[in-house]
Amino acid sequence: MIAKLTIERKRDGREIPAAELREFVAAYTRGEVPDYQMSAFAMAVLLKGMTDAETAALTDAMEHSGETVDWSDCPLPTADKHSTGGVGDKLSFIVQPLAAACGLAVPSLTGRGLGHTGGTADKLESIPGYNASLSLAEFKKVVGEVGVSMTVQTAEIAPADKKLYALRDVTGTVPSIPLITASILSKKLAEGAGTLVFDVKCGRGAFMKTRPEAEDLAAHLVAGAKAAGRKAAAIVNSMDEPTGRAVGNALEVKEALDVLAGDPDSPNDVVELSVALAAKMVELAAGVPSEEALAMCSARLADGSALRRFEAMVAAQGGDLAAFRALDFEAAFAADVRAEKSGRIASVDALGIAEAALRLGAGRGAVGDEIDPMAGVVLVKRSGDEVRKGDVLCRLYGSRDKCGEETVMCALRSYEVES
């Protein structure tokens, strides 16, 4: 296998035979294809696309670049939810424990930040002591004991995706349907859950900007999962505006904890979408009729069962929620962004808010960059709210030296105020 020829074939828009793709991925996993060649290949795929057969071969090669998990000894139906990535997307912290509280086993391998989106693992690591890098054996143990575990894909699971994911993040090669499909499916199939529910985001703050693109990605994900013998469904959700109010690692965990605790001020979008996604998992995995699954999920969220599962998972993975709850968010406060005129908020651009959060240190600009767990943005005002000139639109958190004029302007420009 000569990597350069595979890259050139894709560059010229020709189809790559399955065996060649498998070899290319295997060589990359072994370190024989360097990152610069894989970057060129990823860009060629982004620009030229892939046939369904190529996407299936790439998925299969990435899934089998490491171990696959077998849950046949698990007495409960297994299910997981995966989001294609958005801004302020803290739903996993609610959906996964909620599904576990409804009687499912939820093994959930998550990612780090990608592009402008935050990573579930990075967010969880804002909980002091939380180990988001479990070994496969530890992951299985936590799922067995608590019913739910969230960790980054272990070194054993889909290592090709692990390497490629980090590379795509910094080479502008994220928004490609074949690459996203292969990335998500390879780790989700290797993770072994019998049911997969995909939360496919579309809009300004998503990788898929339009609904037809998001529906195409959803169809690829569901078809790929079903072809691999899993039950699967996808829900396409708008990501023009951030989900909920908080964007940033610790800030999002805090908001999710408030939702789990039944805070009456919880953002409706977070509550409704979490219940819908968990209910879809329960419906497919346990064969519960859809209305009943929705009622069950609403009840288990309201009665604190989902919160208890989340707390048990955090404890089992070494996290200290008391220390998290004691974090001093006011000390991390950097600036308020105020309305320049009175009116009604017509929209809040998710991408602009994500950029402000990134500038504040909530995400990575390059592979290996440190993130500031306390950095981010809290939307005080959201679409539809009335504001008066001088009112606080959003609050910025992070170190003050990262909160210059440009960061404030970036957050301010994200708000469209109609007078």
Number of C-beta neighbours around residue 18 at 10 A:
15
Interface residue with ligand URA, options 85, 194, 361, 398 (CB under 6 A): 85
Q: Can you say whether the dihedral through the CA atoms of 95, 101, 105, 109 is positive or negative?
A: positive
Task: Compute the distance between CA of residue 108 and CA of residue 74 in angstroms, rounded to an integer.
Answer: 15
Alpha carbon of 402 to those of 54, 62, 253, 376, 396: distances in Å? 43, 38, 22, 11, 10
**Tokens standing for 241?**
């505006």
- Shortest Å distance, C-beta 348 to ligand URA: 22
Tell me which residue has its CB nearest to ligand URA: 183
- Shortest Å distance, C-beta 183 to ligand URA: 3
Please confirm, yes or no, whether 187 is among the known catalytic residues: yes
Residue 44 near residue 11, CB atoms below 8 Å: yes
**24 versus 165: smaller Cβ distance to ligand URA:** 165
Among 83, 183, 266, 274, the active-site one is 183
Q: How many residues does the chain have?
A: 419
- Shortest Å distance, C-beta 168 to ligand URA: 7
Please confirm, yes or no, whether 81 is among the known catalytic residues: no
**46 versus 114: smaller Cβ distance to ligand URA:** 114
Task: Compute the distance between CA of residue 300 and CA of residue 302 in angstroms, rounded to an integer.
Answer: 5
Alpha carbon of 126 to those of 85, 120, 197, 220, 321: distances in Å? 19, 10, 26, 33, 10
**218 versus 286: smaller Cβ distance to ligand URA:** 218
> E strands within 23-78?
none
Please confirm, yes or no, whether 161 is among the known catalytic residues: yes
What number of CA atoms fall less than 13 Å from residue 300's CA on the CB side?
A: 28
Binding mask 91-120 for ligand URA (x = CB under 6 A): --------------------x--x------
Q: Tell whether residue 84 is a contact of ligand URA (CB under 6 A).
A: yes
Among 140, 187, 309, 381, the active-site one is 187
Which secondary-structure segment (H or E) carries 376?
A: strand 376-379
Binding mask 151-190 for ligand URA (x = CB under 6 A): --------------x-------------xx--xx------
Among 168, 245, 364, 381, the active-site one is 168
- Shortest Å distance, C-beta 111 to ligand URA: 5
**198 versus 415: smaller Cβ distance to ligand URA:** 198
Task: Catalog residues that contact ligand URA under the rule CB under 6 A.
Answer: 84-85, 111, 114, 165, 179-180, 183-184
Known catalytic residues are 82, 161, 168, 183, 187
